Protein backbone atom coordinates (compact mmCIF):
# COMPACT_ATOMS: atom_id res chain seq x y z
CA UNK A 1 0.00 0.00 0.00
CA UNK A 2 1.27 3.47 -0.85
CA UNK A 3 1.34 5.58 2.34
CA UNK A 4 2.15 9.18 3.22
CA UNK A 5 5.84 8.38 3.86
CA UNK A 6 6.27 7.45 0.23
CA UNK A 7 4.83 10.77 -0.92
CA UNK A 8 7.05 12.61 1.55
CA UNK A 9 10.05 10.80 0.15
CA UNK A 10 9.09 11.64 -3.44
CA UNK A 11 8.53 15.28 -2.45
CA UNK A 12 11.96 15.35 -0.82
CA UNK A 13 13.54 14.03 -4.03
CA UNK A 14 11.71 16.64 -6.11
CA UNK A 15 12.80 19.46 -3.77
CA UNK A 16 16.44 18.47 -4.17
CA UNK A 17 16.17 18.93 -7.95
CA UNK A 18 13.74 21.85 -8.25
CA UNK A 19 15.05 23.30 -11.50
CA UNK A 20 15.35 19.93 -13.21
CA UNK A 21 11.85 18.92 -12.13
CA UNK A 22 10.39 22.26 -13.20
CA UNK A 23 11.98 22.15 -16.66
CA UNK A 24 10.86 18.56 -17.15
CA UNK A 25 7.32 19.34 -16.04
CA UNK A 26 7.26 22.51 -18.12
CA UNK A 27 8.00 20.51 -21.27
CA UNK A 28 5.01 18.28 -20.48
CA UNK A 29 2.80 21.25 -19.63
CA UNK A 30 3.85 23.10 -22.79
CA UNK A 31 3.15 20.03 -24.91
CA UNK A 32 -0.43 19.61 -23.74
CA UNK A 33 -0.97 23.39 -23.77
CA UNK A 34 0.11 23.61 -27.42
CA UNK A 35 -1.97 20.56 -28.35
CA UNK A 36 -5.13 22.16 -26.91
CA UNK A 37 -4.40 25.58 -28.44
CA UNK A 38 -3.72 24.03 -31.85
CA UNK A 39 -6.89 21.94 -31.64
CA UNK A 40 -8.81 25.05 -30.62
CA UNK A 41 -7.44 26.97 -33.59
CA UNK A 42 -8.35 24.10 -35.90
CA UNK A 43 -11.87 23.94 -34.46
CA UNK A 44 -12.16 27.72 -34.87
CA UNK A 45 -11.37 27.46 -38.56
CA UNK A 46 -13.71 24.51 -39.02
CA UNK A 47 -16.57 26.18 -37.13
CA UNK A 48 -16.08 29.42 -39.04
CA UNK A 49 -16.12 27.75 -42.45
CA UNK A 50 -18.98 25.40 -41.63
CA UNK A 51 -20.99 28.32 -40.25
CA UNK A 52 -21.26 29.61 -43.80
CA UNK A 53 -23.18 26.47 -44.74
CA UNK A 54 -25.67 26.96 -41.90
CA UNK A 55 -27.42 29.61 -43.99
CA UNK A 56 -28.54 26.99 -46.49
CA UNK A 57 -29.55 23.38 -46.63
CA UNK A 58 -26.60 21.05 -47.13
CA UNK A 59 -27.81 20.01 -50.59
CA UNK A 60 -28.60 23.43 -52.08
CA UNK A 61 -28.01 24.14 -55.78
CA UNK A 62 -28.29 27.51 -57.51
CA UNK A 63 -28.26 28.07 -61.27
CA UNK A 64 -28.49 31.20 -63.41
CA UNK A 65 -28.37 31.95 -67.16
CA UNK A 66 -25.32 33.47 -68.85
CA UNK A 67 -23.99 33.70 -72.42
CA UNK A 68 -23.23 30.79 -74.74
CA UNK A 69 -19.56 30.82 -75.67
CA UNK A 70 -19.65 28.05 -78.30
CA UNK A 71 -21.57 27.82 -81.62
CA UNK A 72 -24.29 25.18 -81.54
CA UNK A 73 -26.59 23.97 -84.38
CA UNK A 74 -26.35 27.21 -86.29
CA UNK A 75 -26.63 29.43 -83.16
CA UNK A 76 -23.97 32.09 -82.73
CA UNK A 77 -21.67 32.63 -79.76
CA UNK A 78 -22.24 35.33 -77.12
CA UNK A 79 -25.95 34.57 -77.23
CA UNK A 80 -27.88 35.32 -74.05
CA UNK A 81 -29.52 32.30 -72.43
CA UNK A 82 -32.82 33.09 -70.75
CA UNK A 83 -34.58 30.85 -68.26
CA UNK A 84 -38.30 30.24 -68.81
CA UNK A 85 -41.20 29.29 -66.56
CA UNK A 86 -41.08 25.79 -68.06
CA UNK A 87 -37.64 25.32 -66.52
CA UNK A 88 -39.15 25.47 -63.03
CA UNK A 89 -41.82 22.89 -63.91
CA UNK A 90 -39.62 20.48 -65.87
CA UNK A 91 -36.83 20.59 -63.29
CA UNK A 92 -38.80 18.40 -60.87
CA UNK A 93 -40.45 16.31 -63.58
CA UNK A 94 -37.18 15.28 -65.24
CA UNK A 95 -35.09 14.93 -62.07
CA UNK A 96 -36.64 12.82 -59.30
CA UNK A 97 -33.89 13.78 -56.84
CA UNK A 98 -34.97 17.45 -56.94
CA UNK A 99 -36.98 18.26 -53.82
CA UNK A 100 -37.66 21.96 -53.12
CA UNK A 101 -37.62 24.56 -55.91
CA UNK A 102 -37.88 28.34 -56.04
CA UNK A 103 -37.42 30.82 -58.83
CA UNK A 104 -35.80 34.12 -57.87
CA UNK A 105 -36.35 37.56 -59.44
CA UNK A 106 -34.17 40.45 -58.30
CA UNK A 107 -35.36 44.05 -58.15
CA UNK A 108 -34.01 47.13 -56.41
CA UNK A 109 -36.55 49.73 -55.32
CA UNK A 110 -37.18 52.55 -52.86
CA UNK A 111 -39.37 51.41 -49.99
CA UNK A 112 -41.20 54.01 -47.95
CA UNK A 113 -43.61 54.25 -45.05
CA UNK A 114 -44.88 57.66 -44.04
CA UNK A 115 -41.90 60.00 -44.15
CA UNK A 116 -39.30 57.23 -43.86
CA UNK A 117 -37.74 55.69 -46.96
CA UNK A 118 -34.65 53.88 -48.17
CA UNK A 119 -33.49 51.83 -51.15
CA UNK A 120 -33.57 48.08 -50.65
CA UNK A 121 -33.38 44.86 -52.65
CA UNK A 122 -36.56 42.95 -53.42
CA UNK A 123 -36.64 39.26 -54.28
CA UNK A 124 -39.59 37.53 -55.90
CA UNK A 125 -39.56 33.97 -54.56
CA UNK A 126 -41.62 30.82 -54.03
CA UNK A 127 -42.50 29.47 -50.55
CA UNK A 128 -39.75 26.80 -50.77
CA UNK A 129 -37.18 29.60 -50.57
CA UNK A 130 -37.68 29.78 -46.79
CA UNK A 131 -36.76 26.12 -46.30
CA UNK A 132 -33.90 26.05 -48.79
CA UNK A 133 -32.19 29.14 -47.33
CA UNK A 134 -33.31 28.57 -43.73
CA UNK A 135 -35.23 31.83 -43.43
CA UNK A 136 -36.66 31.85 -39.90
CA UNK A 137 -39.97 33.39 -38.87
CA UNK A 138 -40.36 33.71 -35.10
CA UNK A 139 -43.74 33.42 -33.41
CA UNK A 140 -45.46 36.79 -33.45
CA UNK A 141 -43.52 38.04 -36.47
CA UNK A 142 -46.04 36.95 -39.10
CA UNK A 143 -45.44 34.49 -41.91
CA UNK A 144 -43.47 33.91 -45.09
CA UNK A 145 -44.78 33.88 -48.67
CA UNK A 146 -47.28 31.03 -49.21
CA UNK A 147 -48.91 29.27 -52.17
CA UNK A 148 -52.05 31.40 -52.02
CA UNK A 149 -49.89 34.51 -52.45
CA UNK A 150 -48.39 32.93 -55.57
CA UNK A 151 -51.72 31.84 -57.07
CA UNK A 152 -53.51 35.13 -56.43
CA UNK A 153 -50.46 37.31 -57.19
CA UNK A 154 -50.92 39.15 -53.96
CA UNK A 155 -49.01 42.36 -53.22
CA UNK A 156 -47.61 41.18 -49.90
CA UNK A 157 -44.09 41.55 -48.56
CA UNK A 158 -41.86 39.98 -45.90
CA UNK A 159 -39.33 42.50 -44.60
CA UNK A 160 -36.04 42.28 -42.72
CA UNK A 161 -35.54 43.45 -39.10
CA UNK A 162 -33.48 46.39 -40.40
CA UNK A 163 -36.32 47.53 -42.63
CA UNK A 164 -38.69 47.36 -39.67
CA UNK A 165 -36.26 49.42 -37.60
CA UNK A 166 -35.69 52.09 -40.26
CA UNK A 167 -39.13 52.42 -41.85
CA UNK A 168 -41.52 51.65 -39.00
CA UNK A 169 -39.48 52.81 -36.03
CA UNK A 170 -41.38 51.65 -32.95
CA UNK A 171 -44.56 50.65 -34.82
CA UNK A 172 -45.67 47.08 -35.44
CA UNK A 173 -45.39 46.67 -39.26
CA UNK A 174 -47.67 43.61 -39.56
CA UNK A 175 -50.75 44.43 -41.60
CA UNK A 176 -49.52 47.87 -42.60
CA UNK A 177 -48.74 48.95 -46.15
CA UNK A 178 -45.40 50.24 -47.44
CA UNK A 179 -44.77 51.66 -50.87
CA UNK A 180 -42.29 50.50 -53.48
CA UNK A 181 -42.34 53.36 -55.98
CA UNK A 182 -46.09 53.50 -56.83
CA UNK A 183 -46.94 50.01 -55.59
CA UNK A 184 -48.35 49.34 -52.11
CA UNK A 185 -47.36 46.08 -50.41
CA UNK A 186 -48.93 44.76 -47.23
CA UNK A 187 -46.41 43.57 -44.66
CA UNK A 188 -47.23 39.98 -43.66
CA UNK A 189 -44.02 39.05 -41.89
CA UNK A 190 -40.65 40.06 -40.47
CA UNK A 191 -38.01 37.35 -40.80
CA UNK A 192 -35.08 36.82 -38.46
CA UNK A 193 -31.68 38.25 -39.35
CA UNK A 194 -29.04 37.86 -36.63
CA UNK A 195 -26.72 40.38 -38.27
CA UNK A 196 -29.45 43.04 -38.73
CA UNK A 197 -27.88 43.66 -42.11
CA UNK A 198 -28.68 46.76 -44.20
CA UNK A 199 -28.39 44.71 -47.38
CA UNK A 200 -30.84 41.99 -46.32
CA UNK A 201 -33.61 41.76 -48.97
CA UNK A 202 -37.39 41.88 -48.70
CA UNK A 203 -39.38 38.99 -50.19
CA UNK A 204 -42.49 39.20 -52.38
CA UNK A 205 -44.42 36.47 -54.26
CA UNK A 206 -42.63 35.26 -57.40
CA UNK A 207 -45.76 35.64 -59.54
CA UNK A 208 -46.24 39.22 -58.35
CA UNK A 209 -42.64 40.10 -59.14
CA UNK A 210 -43.00 38.56 -62.61
CA UNK A 211 -46.13 40.57 -63.37
CA UNK A 212 -44.77 43.88 -62.08
CA UNK A 213 -41.11 43.75 -63.11
CA UNK A 214 -40.70 41.12 -65.87
CA UNK A 215 -43.85 41.48 -67.98
CA UNK A 216 -45.13 38.23 -66.48
CA UNK A 217 -42.36 36.02 -67.84
CA UNK A 218 -39.00 34.39 -66.99
CA UNK A 219 -36.78 34.05 -63.94
CA UNK A 220 -33.34 35.35 -62.98
CA UNK A 221 -32.18 32.41 -60.86
CA UNK A 222 -33.41 28.99 -59.86
CA UNK A 223 -32.54 27.51 -56.48
CA UNK A 224 -33.41 23.98 -55.44
CA UNK A 225 -32.44 21.18 -53.08
CA UNK A 226 -31.51 17.58 -53.84
CA UNK A 227 -32.39 14.34 -52.08
CA UNK A 228 -30.03 11.37 -52.21
CA UNK A 229 -27.12 13.40 -53.61
CA UNK A 230 -24.39 13.75 -50.99
CA UNK A 231 -21.03 13.15 -52.68
CA UNK A 232 -19.11 15.16 -55.23
CA UNK A 233 -19.33 12.32 -57.77
CA UNK A 234 -23.11 12.07 -57.44
CA UNK A 235 -23.49 15.82 -57.85
CA UNK A 236 -21.24 15.89 -60.92
CA UNK A 237 -23.41 13.20 -62.53
CA UNK A 238 -26.53 15.24 -61.77
CA UNK A 239 -24.96 18.46 -63.08
CA UNK A 240 -23.99 16.79 -66.37
CA UNK A 241 -27.54 15.54 -66.83
CA UNK A 242 -29.02 18.92 -65.90
CA UNK A 243 -26.79 20.77 -68.39
CA UNK A 244 -27.86 18.35 -71.11
CA UNK A 245 -31.52 19.04 -70.33
CA UNK A 246 -31.04 22.81 -70.30
CA UNK A 247 -28.89 22.71 -73.44
CA UNK A 248 -31.62 20.85 -75.29
CA UNK A 249 -34.31 23.31 -74.22
CA UNK A 250 -32.26 26.49 -74.72
CA UNK A 251 -30.18 25.27 -77.65
CA UNK A 252 -26.63 25.52 -76.35
CA UNK A 253 -23.79 23.01 -76.18
CA UNK A 254 -24.05 21.05 -72.87
CA UNK A 255 -20.24 21.11 -72.71
CA UNK A 256 -20.31 24.92 -72.76
CA UNK A 257 -19.85 25.64 -69.04
CA UNK A 258 -20.22 29.38 -69.62
CA UNK A 259 -23.76 29.10 -70.93
CA UNK A 260 -25.26 28.70 -67.49
CA UNK A 261 -23.78 29.13 -64.03
CA UNK A 262 -24.16 26.54 -61.28
CA UNK A 263 -23.13 26.55 -57.65
CA UNK A 264 -23.72 23.85 -55.07
CA UNK A 265 -23.13 23.58 -51.35
CA UNK A 266 -22.50 19.86 -51.90
CA UNK A 267 -19.25 20.48 -53.78
CA UNK A 268 -18.08 23.22 -51.43
CA UNK A 269 -18.96 21.20 -48.34
CA UNK A 270 -17.03 18.18 -49.62
CA UNK A 271 -14.03 20.36 -50.50
CA UNK A 272 -13.97 22.21 -47.17
CA UNK A 273 -14.59 19.02 -45.20
CA UNK A 274 -11.62 17.32 -46.87
CA UNK A 275 -9.46 20.38 -46.28
CA UNK A 276 -10.43 20.58 -42.60
CA UNK A 277 -9.77 16.86 -42.10
CA UNK A 278 -6.28 17.40 -43.49
CA UNK A 279 -5.71 20.39 -41.20
CA UNK A 280 -6.98 18.40 -38.19
CA UNK A 281 -4.62 15.55 -39.00
CA UNK A 282 -1.71 17.97 -39.30
CA UNK A 283 -2.60 19.59 -35.95
CA UNK A 284 -2.80 16.22 -34.21
CA UNK A 285 0.58 15.16 -35.63
CA UNK A 286 2.22 18.40 -34.46
CA UNK A 287 0.49 18.25 -31.06
CA UNK A 288 1.32 14.60 -30.41
CA UNK A 289 4.89 15.27 -31.49
CA UNK A 290 5.14 18.11 -28.96
CA UNK A 291 3.69 15.86 -26.26
CA UNK A 292 6.10 13.07 -27.17
CA UNK A 293 9.02 15.46 -26.75
CA UNK A 294 7.82 16.23 -23.23
CA UNK A 295 7.41 12.55 -22.37
CA UNK A 296 10.90 11.77 -23.67
CA UNK A 297 12.15 14.51 -21.35
CA UNK A 298 10.40 12.87 -18.39
CA UNK A 299 11.86 9.48 -19.31
CA UNK A 300 15.38 10.92 -19.54
CA UNK A 301 15.02 12.63 -16.18
CA UNK A 302 13.81 9.41 -14.59
CA UNK A 303 16.84 7.60 -16.05
CA UNK A 304 19.08 10.19 -14.42
CA UNK A 305 17.17 9.86 -11.16
CA UNK A 306 17.57 6.09 -11.17
CA UNK A 307 21.30 6.40 -11.88
CA UNK A 308 21.78 8.88 -9.03
CA UNK A 309 19.82 6.70 -6.59
CA UNK A 310 21.25 3.31 -7.59
CA UNK A 311 23.27 2.99 -4.38
CA UNK A 312 20.20 3.97 -2.35
CA UNK A 313 18.13 1.28 -4.07
CA UNK A 314 20.83 -1.27 -3.28
CA UNK A 315 20.68 -0.43 0.41
CA UNK A 316 16.89 -0.67 0.31
CA UNK A 317 17.13 -4.17 -1.17
CA UNK A 318 19.72 -5.18 1.39
CA UNK A 319 17.41 -4.27 4.28
CA UNK A 320 14.44 -6.09 2.76
CA UNK A 321 12.74 -3.73 0.31
CA UNK A 322 10.88 -5.59 -2.43
CA UNK A 323 11.46 -4.83 -6.14
CA UNK A 324 7.81 -3.78 -6.41
CA UNK A 325 8.20 -1.08 -3.74
CA UNK A 326 11.16 0.43 -5.64
CA UNK A 327 9.32 0.13 -8.95
CA UNK A 328 6.25 1.79 -7.45
CA UNK A 329 8.30 4.65 -6.00
CA UNK A 330 9.81 5.62 -9.34
CA UNK A 331 6.57 5.21 -11.33
CA UNK A 332 4.58 7.33 -8.88
CA UNK A 333 7.18 10.09 -9.07
CA UNK A 334 6.90 10.04 -12.88
CA UNK A 335 3.08 10.06 -12.71
CA UNK A 336 3.11 12.91 -10.22
CA UNK A 337 5.23 15.10 -12.48
CA UNK A 338 3.26 14.39 -15.64
CA UNK A 339 -0.16 14.58 -13.95
CA UNK A 340 0.39 17.87 -12.11
CA UNK A 341 2.10 19.69 -14.95
CA UNK A 342 -0.16 18.07 -17.55
CA UNK A 343 -3.25 19.20 -15.65
CA UNK A 344 -1.81 22.71 -15.42
CA UNK A 345 -1.16 22.74 -19.17
CA UNK A 346 -4.70 21.52 -19.85
CA UNK A 347 -6.30 24.17 -17.62
CA UNK A 348 -4.16 26.92 -19.16
CA UNK A 349 -4.91 25.81 -22.73
CA UNK A 350 -8.66 25.45 -22.16
CA UNK A 351 -8.73 28.78 -20.29
CA UNK A 352 -6.96 30.57 -23.15
CA UNK A 353 -9.27 29.18 -25.84
CA UNK A 354 -12.37 29.99 -23.76
CA UNK A 355 -11.10 33.53 -23.13
CA UNK A 356 -10.50 34.08 -26.86
CA UNK A 357 -13.99 32.75 -27.59
CA UNK A 358 -15.56 35.11 -25.03
CA UNK A 359 -13.77 38.11 -26.54
CA UNK A 360 -14.84 37.11 -30.05
CA UNK A 361 -18.47 36.61 -29.01
CA UNK A 362 -18.66 39.88 -27.10
CA UNK A 363 -17.25 41.84 -30.05
CA UNK A 364 -19.12 39.74 -32.67
CA UNK A 365 -15.82 38.83 -34.32
CA UNK A 366 -15.64 36.04 -36.88
CA UNK A 367 -19.26 36.27 -37.97
CA UNK A 368 -20.09 37.39 -41.48
CA UNK A 369 -21.26 41.01 -41.63
CA UNK A 370 -23.51 40.30 -44.59
CA UNK A 371 -24.90 37.41 -46.60
CA UNK A 372 -22.13 37.90 -49.15
CA UNK A 373 -19.31 37.70 -46.58
CA UNK A 374 -17.84 34.52 -45.17
CA UNK A 375 -16.96 33.56 -41.63
CA UNK A 376 -13.47 32.11 -41.33
CA UNK A 377 -12.93 31.72 -37.56
CA UNK A 378 -15.53 31.03 -34.84
CA UNK A 379 -15.69 29.39 -31.41
CA UNK A 380 -12.01 28.29 -31.15
CA UNK A 381 -12.60 25.97 -28.20
CA UNK A 382 -11.90 22.32 -27.43
CA UNK A 383 -14.46 19.97 -25.95
CA UNK A 384 -13.88 18.88 -22.36
CA UNK A 385 -13.76 15.22 -23.37
CA UNK A 386 -10.82 15.85 -25.73
CA UNK A 387 -8.98 17.89 -23.09
CA UNK A 388 -9.46 15.17 -20.48
CA UNK A 389 -8.46 12.48 -22.98
CA UNK A 390 -5.25 14.36 -23.74
CA UNK A 391 -4.52 14.64 -20.02
CA UNK A 392 -5.22 10.94 -19.50
CA UNK A 393 -2.92 10.17 -22.42
CA UNK A 394 -0.08 12.13 -20.85
CA UNK A 395 -0.57 10.36 -17.51
CA UNK A 396 -0.43 6.96 -19.22
CA UNK A 397 2.70 8.12 -21.01
CA UNK A 398 4.06 9.17 -17.61
CA UNK A 399 3.56 5.62 -16.34
CA UNK A 400 5.55 4.27 -19.28
CA UNK A 401 8.20 6.98 -18.87
CA UNK A 402 8.78 5.87 -15.29
CA UNK A 403 8.33 2.13 -15.80
CA UNK A 404 11.30 1.43 -18.05
CA UNK A 405 13.91 3.24 -15.88
CA UNK A 406 12.33 1.62 -12.80
CA UNK A 407 12.51 -1.84 -14.33
CA UNK A 408 16.22 -1.27 -14.94
CA UNK A 409 16.67 -0.28 -11.30
CA UNK A 410 14.99 -3.34 -9.81
CA UNK A 411 17.03 -5.72 -11.98
CA UNK A 412 20.28 -4.59 -10.34
CA UNK A 413 21.32 -6.80 -7.40
CA UNK A 414 21.82 -5.24 -3.99
CA UNK A 415 25.60 -5.87 -4.04
CA UNK A 416 26.06 -4.33 -7.51
CA UNK A 417 23.93 -1.35 -6.55
CA UNK A 418 25.89 -0.62 -3.38
CA UNK A 419 29.17 -0.80 -5.28
CA UNK A 420 27.93 1.94 -7.62
CA UNK A 421 29.58 5.31 -6.96
Q: What is the pLDDT along the chain (421 residues), one digit of tens a residue?
A: 455 666 676 666 667 777 777 877 787 788 888 888 888 888 887 777 766 666 656 688 999 999 998 888 877 888 899 999 999 999 999 999 999 999 999 999 999 998 899 999 999 999 999 999 889 999 899 999 999 999 999 999 999 999 999 999 889 999 999 999 889 999 999 999 877 778 899 999 999 999 999 888 889 999 999 988 878 888 899 999 999 999 999 999 999 999 999 988 887 777 777 777 787 788 778 777 777 777 777 777 777 777 776 677 777 777 777 777 777 777 777 777 788 888 888 888 888 888 888 887 777 665 554 444 555 667 777 877 877 887 787 778 777 777 777 777 677 666 665 565 5
Contact (Cβ atoms closer than 8 angstroms) between residue 306 and residue 406? yes
**236 and 213 share a domain?**
yes
In whole angstroms, what is the distance from residue 347 CA to residue 252 CA? 62
> Residue 152: its pLDDT value, please?
95
pTM value surpassing 0.75: no
Q: Which of 64, 13, 19, 24 is nearest to 340 (CA)?
A: 24
- Per-residue pLDDT of 162-201, as tens digits, reads 999 999 988 999 999 999 988 999 999 999 987 777 889 9
In whole angstroms, what is the distance from residue 372 CA to residue 70 CA? 31
**413 and 308 share a domain?**
yes
In whole angstroms, what is the distance from residue 245 CA to residue 63 CA? 13
3-class secondary structure, 76? coil
In whole angstroms, what is the distance from residue 47 CA to residue 42 CA? 9
**231 and 148 share a domain?**
yes
> Residue 408: its pLDDT value, please?
72
Where does a domain end: 262, 292, 317? 262
**323 and 189 share a domain?**
no
Where does a domain end: 262, 290, 320? 262
Contact (Cβ atoms closer than 8 angstroms) between residue 24 and residue 345? no
Buried b (16+ CB within 10 A) or exposed e, 225-239: bbeebeebeebeebb
**77 and 205 share a domain?**
yes
**407 and 285 share a domain?**
yes
**215 and 117 share a domain?**
yes
Give the phi and the psi of residue 271 in degrees, each rounded to 5: -65, -50
**114 and 249 share a domain?**
yes
> Residue 39: its pLDDT value, please?
83
Q: Which of 95, 81, 94, 119 is nearest to 219 (CA)?
A: 81
> Residue 368: its pLDDT value, please?
53
> Residue 419: its pLDDT value, please?
60
> Residue 1: its pLDDT value, please?
45
**Backbone region of residue 375 per phi and psi (left: phi > 0; alpha: psi in -120 to 50; beta: other values):** beta
What is the number of domains present in the chain?
A: 2
**275 and 392 share a domain?**
yes
**88 and 235 share a domain?**
yes
Provide the domain limits for residue 115: 60-262
**246 and 376 share a domain?**
no
In whole angstroms, what is the distance from residue 66 CA to residue 87 CA? 15
Where does a domain end: 262, 280, 304? 262
Amino acid sequence: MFDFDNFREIWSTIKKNKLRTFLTGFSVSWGIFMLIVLLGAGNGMKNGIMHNFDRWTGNRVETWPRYASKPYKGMQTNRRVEYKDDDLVLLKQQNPEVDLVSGVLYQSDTLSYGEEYNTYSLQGVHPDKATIDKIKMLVGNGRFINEVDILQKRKVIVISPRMKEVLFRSEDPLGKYLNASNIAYQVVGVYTDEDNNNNAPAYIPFSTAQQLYRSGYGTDNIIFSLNGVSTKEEYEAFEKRFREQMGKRHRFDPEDLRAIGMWSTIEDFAMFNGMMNGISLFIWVIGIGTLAAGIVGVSNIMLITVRERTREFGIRKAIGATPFSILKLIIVESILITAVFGYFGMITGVGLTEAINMVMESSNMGKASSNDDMSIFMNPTVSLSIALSATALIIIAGVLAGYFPARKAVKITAIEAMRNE
